Structure 1
Amino acid sequence: MPESQETVFLRSNAIIEPLVDRFYAWMHIVAPAQGSMNLANVQVPLLESYLHSPQVHIAASNNPALRGGYFINVEEARAAEVGELLDTIKRERGEMLAFAAAIAEADELLRQNATGFDLTPLYPKLPPALNGLVELAYDTSNQASVHVIEPLLYHSPVFDRRRQSVQLSLDDGVERPFILSTPRLPRPDALDLPIPFDHPGLDALMKARIEGTTLARLREALELDDEQAARLGRLLAPEPSLAPDRHIDSGGRIRYFGHACLVLQSPEAAVVVDPFISTDNRHGDRYTLDDLPDHIDLVLITHGHQDHIVLETLLQLRSRTDAIVVPRSSRGNLCDPSIGQYLKSMGFTVIEVDDFDEVPLPGGARVVATPFLGEHSDLDIRAKSTYVVQLAGLSVFVGADSSGIDPVLYQYVRSHLGDVDKVFLGMECDGAPLTWLYKGLLTRPVTKKMSDSRKLSGSNAAQAADIMTELGANEAYVYAMGEESWQGHVMATTYTPDTYQIQQIEEFLTWCKAHDVAAEHLFNKREWRW
């Protein structure tokens, strides 16, 4: 352990996993309404299932064909700890479980009584857990639903920061357990801190990646005891590991950091898109946190899925980022939580945008929010956005997982913003079914056939070609879609050359070649300079 007054830096391969009731934190288990429903409808039943048959879960977790399934990968010898976690949740999260039950009861109340007439008589019949926190409303097709007043929920018993903690460890290259299913139990090689995500000590620790500090200062900032300080010392090094070329002094640069993460830079500005960044710098085959600029003007979030708004990475960037740009939600829709409210609750500075809103950048650059179609299983989700970034004389379309299901949209984008030079696009064109990610939020069951028909899918080859044609772009780059080695704990995807998605990418690349469009299927890292 370093002496407490020596200058130290946070190691490049330090992992900071944010946890909620020991499950890996992402928006749908942190946001109060969605967190309550996932706790009641997914996590509690999952823990109960494991305790009933631990060996079934362990076998399934080790079966490649079931990768990404809802199975807890905890050895049977630690089943008692899983039982203690379940008991704690049932004992201490009563308000959340009651809220989830109340939502289901209110939905049934509407189903039985909302027949197109006045909803006012139903308010006294609502469960007490919902009083003051919801509104009942019809849509224009006369279908009634419950709308939550989301900002109030962050100040109600349904949102409890005592659920939050962080687990710190060193990245050894071994794939971590799948985040949607396996809770993080204490480990001898990890430091567990029972602090909320907005704790100022976390920013002090993250700043230590680029600014020297001392163990004594970090110990005070994080409120550590002797044993915790000793464990933190293992995460510190006497020298920083920052890349010398992390800034540029002329022109423009884009770096692909894997999955859907891009870093766009000019000498005056830096923009990071959907940061999901490796902490393992031993291989040289990827950009890591070491390669990020010291100061980031804007982080752009395209949508709320767990592989695009990665809290583990965002917490590491909070102290060096001016603001996070997020798409505005539809307010109160249970399947469409506010990304802005979520991030503000953790101390981030947030700019919410609607379609075609502009955010200026230093040096005359700008970001323009553009519409995002598809990829959300046909749910009414507004908190999704693509972006056009115009920087250092180049116009870049950041398409994320959007679908080209209506090519005319991109005619409007082009007429509004002009031709685009480069297009970045995901082509997960046969995504997971509706219930894989949204089961906890569904108040009425759907059949398997119905769920399977509503995929979390982006563009196929024809749709991607239509996007290119309508935007007038001459360069196309397809994301790796979770194929990089460090993303298995979040993505849990496995592709072969015969996989439909890969075949569609190849078909699109063939189309690009026939139409004189430069195109690549990205993997690990790539850089463009101009």
Structure 2
Amino acid sequence: MPYSLRPDVAVEPVIAGWYGWSYLLPPQTLARFVHNRFTPIMESYLDSPEVHAAAVRQPRMHGGPWVHAHEHYDVIKDWHERSAPQRELLNELFEAIRRLEEEILPRYTGECLDPVYQELPPALSGRVEVFYGRDNHTPDYRFIEPLMYASEFYDEGMQQVRFRPVTSDAREFALTTPMLEYGPDQLLVDVPLNSPLLDMVFRGGLDEAELARLTTELGLDGERAERFAGYFELVAGGPARDESAEPDVLDYAGHACVFVRHEGTTFLVDPVLSYDGYDDATEGRFTFADLPDRIDHVLITHNHQDHMLFETLLRIRHRVGTVLVPRSSNASLVDPGLAGILRRLGFTDVVEVDDLEERRCGTATAVAVPFLGEHGDLRIRSKTGWLLRLGNRQVLFAADSTNISPSTYAKVVAVTGRVDTVFIGMESMGAAASWIYGPLYPRPLSRREDQSRRLNGSDFEQAKAIVDALDPDEVYVYAMGLEPWLGTVMAIDYDESHPAIVDSDLLVKYALTRGNTAERLYLRKTLTR
């Protein structure tokens, strides 16, 4: 029998010692996060670990800048000291960006910008373009992103994966704790995230010789090789799965993840999947085992960690044909190119789609729909809702789009036609803008500014206006972070009084009074087709 990875083993991406997500892959954004977020967290922890130990026990502190593995002080201190050369390199890039933004560009208020190129620090020279905004007085810049990835600041040697068993549905918040080996059941492996060796791990079906060769190529020997082998199990082979004969389906898989099969073509929207095979795992969930061998199209709505989860994307990469993403044209600190990130993550067929552009996918069609709000009023272009035309049915995945301009959806429908099924994100009280984007700001927002620019999905009135404009038959609330495994990258503690629960309850009731099918989705739901 062949060996395959156990279904209860998580393989977590690691970049520069931290949980890997999309803003840590480009070197320019990684430099900002290391300097502005991770270094202060480490300095605070190393100075007062007891403060972090107390903070992580308080629900109101959930998602704050606290180290969760606080009991492993010596391990964390040793890693922090050993990783100083990495920080020094990234700090060189951080300082170059700071100088450009705070010292060089502010001196220009309308005159020719040509001299700026002679003043650029070496880390940025030849790798940025400077220009004025439309007022002809405010200078700005963009990165030439391929040259940033080709620079010494993008080092795949900073990338790793950590193997560890999953023991419960609920997972601990991961974004503020170094990803190290904290116990004998964990294994940190030095391997670039785009390595084909990871595809071998996830594809499975390995005989003993192949597993031994994989172990060697990952640089593992002795006890570490034995630990690695323990993550695999013998799996009996079965008859080949005839996926072409499987029926059409629309399957909610948790959070904003939906699996679609239409006339043999498969789609996975915003992949975030849970594990299985451990004691007390909630039954009936959609897990990796429920995926087909081939996913023809992955659709990404936007560049937030709960919609573009590296941990899931790496695990399914060997199954994926094409990835469709919103077109990005900014190449800025707050809006790095989504396609470039995915290509460096090892995906080879990535297609950017602009507003209301269409992409033929088998007998279905994917249409990019405008996505407003939820990004802290920043100039972020890489976001879209996805409309799937499945025969005579149209399904819209609106993700976290906030209906701040109610006439937009009416105008969209005038172009696309009526929508039959809509998925609406209703995290109506999201995090403050700085929770994601704070390390990228030139200077911190005031508390008033930060709280006013929250990363909100639609509230009841906004979602109601979407339903009225689209006039759908089915209304589903999703993307709420309700599933316990979302705790890795989200920090939401719901109760019945939480605004998102109140607002989504109101929307479901409203849709039902219209005669719609309506529900706030949780765990898994196979919908009518």
User: Is TM (by shorter chain) over 0.5?
Assistant: yes
Instruction: Tell me if 1:230 matches 2:215.
Output: no
**Are the aligned partners of 1:249 and 1:266 in contact in 2 as well (CA < 8 Å)?**
no
**Distance change in 2, residues 1:366/1:112 (3 Å):** closer
Residue of structure 2 in register with 1:18 after alignment? 13
Instruction: Specify the code of the residue in structure 2 equivalent to 1:219.
Output: T
**Distance change in 2, residues 1:229/1:298 (3 Å):** same
Q: Using the alignment, how far apart are the partners of 1:353 and 1:519 within structure 2? A: 30
**Distance change in 2, residues 1:89/1:218 (3 Å):** closer
Instruction: Tell me if 1:269 matches 2:265.
Output: yes
Q: Using the alignment, how far apart are the partners of 1:445 and 1:179 within structure 2? A: 23
Q: Using the alignment, how far apart are the partners of 2:333 and 2:70 within structure 1? A: 35
Residue of structure 2 in register with 1:179 after alignment? 174
Instruction: Tell me if 1:361 matches 2:361.
Output: yes
Between 190-199 and 117-126, the greater mean CA deviation after superposition: 117-126
Instruction: Tell me if 1:155 matches 2:154.
Output: no
- Aligned-pair distance for 1:415? 2.1
Instruction: Tell me if 1:166 matches 2:165.
Output: no
Residue of structure 2 in register with 1:3 after alignment? none
**Distance change in 2, residues 1:221/1:270 (3 Å):** farther
Residue of structure 2 in register with 1:104 after alignment? 98
Residue of structure 1 in register with 2:317 after alignment? 318
**Are the aligned partners of 1:44 and 1:86 in contact in 2 as well (CA < 8 Å)?**
no
SS class of match (1:444): coil
- Aligned-pair distance for 1:242? 9.8
Q: Using the alignment, how far apart are the partners of 2:441 and 2:239 within structure 1? A: 46
SS class of match (1:437): helix
Deviation per residue, 1:156-206 (Å, 9 max, x gap): 011110110001122111644322201122131012210110111100111
Choose from 111, 126, 134 the match for 1:132.
126
Residue of structure 2 in register with 1:197 after alignment? 193
**Are the aligned partners of 2:483 and 2:523 in contact in 1 as well (CA < 8 Å)?**
yes
- Aligned-pair distance for 1:12? 1.5
Q: Using the alignment, how far apart are the partners of 1:126 and 1:167 within structure 2? A: 38
Between 299-308 and 237-246, the greater mean CA deviation after superposition: 237-246
Residue of structure 1 in register with 2:290 after alignment? 291
Between 236-245 and 261-270, the greater mean CA deviation after superposition: 236-245
Residue of structure 2 in register with 1:94 after alignment? 88
- Aligned-pair distance for 1:346? 2.0
Instruction: Tell me if 1:36 matches 2:31.
Output: yes
Residue of structure 2 in register with 1:219 after alignment? 215
**Are the aligned partners of 1:428 and 1:501 in contact in 2 as well (CA < 8 Å)?**
yes
Q: Using the alignment, how far apart are the partners of 1:507 and 1:195 within structure 2? A: 48
Between 62-71 and 239-248, the greater mean CA deviation after superposition: 239-248
**Are the aligned partners of 2:511 and 2:517 in contact in 1 as well (CA < 8 Å)?**
yes
Query: Equivalences for 1:59-70 in 2 at 5 Å?
Result: 59-70=54-65
TM-score (norm 2): 0.94
**Distance change in 2, residues 1:242/1:406 (3 Å):** farther
Residue of structure 1 in register with 2:74 after alignment? 80
- Aligned-pair distance for 1:444? 2.4
Q: Using the alignment, how far apart are the partners of 1:256 and 1:373 within structure 2? A: 23
- Aligned-pair distance for 1:248? 7.2
Query: Equivalences for 1:123-522 in 2 at 5 Å?
Result: 123-141=117-135, 142-173=137-168, 175-186=170-181, 187-208=183-204, 211-214=205-208, 215-239=211-235, 247=243, 249=245, 251-281=247-277, 282-349=281-348, 350-362=350-362, 364-479=363-478, 481-522=480-521
- Aligned-pair distance for 1:293? 1.1
Q: Using the alignment, how far apart are the partners of 2:423 and 2:238 within structure 1? A: 27
- Aligned-pair distance for 1:506? 1.3
- Aligned-pair distance for 1:8? 1.4
**Are the aligned partners of 1:150 and 1:331 in contact in 2 as well (CA < 8 Å)?**
no
SS class of match (1:507): helix
- Aligned-pair distance for 1:339? 1.0
Q: Using the alignment, how far apart are the partners of 1:240 and 1:318 within structure 2? A: 23
**Distance change in 2, residues 1:243/1:454 (3 Å):** farther
Q: Using the alignment, how far apart are the partners of 1:243 and 1:323 within structure 2? A: 27
**Are the aligned partners of 1:10 and 1:240 in contact in 2 as well (CA < 8 Å)?**
no
TM-score (norm 1): 0.94
**Are the aligned partners of 1:460 and 1:505 in contact in 2 as well (CA < 8 Å)?**
yes
- Aligned-pair distance for 1:472? 2.5
Q: Using the alignment, how far apart are the partners of 1:523 and 1:240 within structure 2? A: 32
- Aligned-pair distance for 1:143? 1.9
Deviation per residue, 1:21-69 (Å, 9 max, x gap): 2210001111111111111111111111110111101110111111111
Identity %: 36
**Distance change in 2, residues 1:230/1:361 (3 Å):** same
Q: Using the alignment, how far apart are the partners of 2:116 and 2:443 within structure 1? A: 19
- Aligned-pair distance for 1:397? 0.2
Q: Using the alignment, how far apart are the partners of 1:389 and 1:213 within structure 2? A: 40
Residue of structure 2 in register with 1:51 after alignment? 46
**Distance change in 2, residues 1:451/1:171 (3 Å):** same
- Aligned-pair distance for 1:127? 2.2
SS class of match (1:446): coil
Q: How many pairs were matched up?
A: 521
SS class of match (1:257): strand
**Distance change in 2, residues 1:267/1:8 (3 Å):** farther
Instruction: Specify the code of the residue in structure 2 equivalent to 1:87.
Output: E
**Distance change in 2, residues 1:66/1:247 (3 Å):** farther
Instruction: Specify the code of the residue in structure 1 equivalent to 2:175.
Output: L
- Aligned-pair distance for 1:323? 1.5
SS class of match (1:130): coil
Residue of structure 2 in register with 1:524 after alignment? 523
- Aligned-pair distance for 1:138? 1.1
